[in-house]
Structure 1
């Protein structure tokens, strides 16, 4: 049974066909420029549908095919279980980070949300 039966019950077509909301979330994730991030709530607000939990669920289920590390928690904490993979991506893209405090678990930095957050505006190429 599992997810196949859930999709059929939901009236979806082929099992590899994404729900429309999931497609829209992933499209927003793909638009975020390298070195920038949006929160789960930012993505929901951009779509004018759903909320942070719905966006988080889509990213957990389907986000592997898009730059998942650019959709983040509002507090700037790295995604649990994927911290080091995400950190490699952030460093490669030059995403603004805040140094970890000595009390931070695992001494992992956080995203500098004030500088890294993207509002969806086109990049300024001047």
Structure 2
């Protein structure tokens, strides 16, 4: 999913940045699947090389494929609860 997609589902259409803050501050404590959330372009938004690598490896271990430009094909791998339920 994307940060914006989660914000919309939570009822805050403009709350993508808040989703980022929540995931990065509370994921460890609450075991949130932070690695499954990317930006609207299908890119990993983390700038830290180590965290970027952890997220990418975690996604790849779940079968997510990346284009050569580092983006994920959202039309193939994006979770949309309204479509998947």
| Fold-level similarity (TM above 0.5) | yes
Equivalenced residue count is 79
Instruction: Show the counterpart of 1:119.
Output: 80
2:17 to 40, 53, 56: 53
RMSD of the alignment, in Å?
1.9
The yes-or-no answer on 1:110 pairing with 2:58 is no
TM-score, normalised on structure 2? 0.77
**Is the helix fraction higher in 1 or 2?**
2
Runs of 4+ in 1 over 2 A off after TM superposition: 121-124
**Is the strand fraction higher in 1 or 2?**
1
Could you tell me how far 1:96 is from its partner in structure 2? 3.1
**Structure 1 CA distance, aligned partners of 2:74 and 2:47?**
17
The yes-or-no answer on 1:80 pairing with 2:47 is yes
Structure 2 unpaired stretches of 5+? none
Structure 1 unpaired stretches of 5+? 1-37, 101-108
TM-score, normalised on structure 1? 0.55
**Structure 2 CA distance, aligned partners of 1:112 and 1:122?**
17
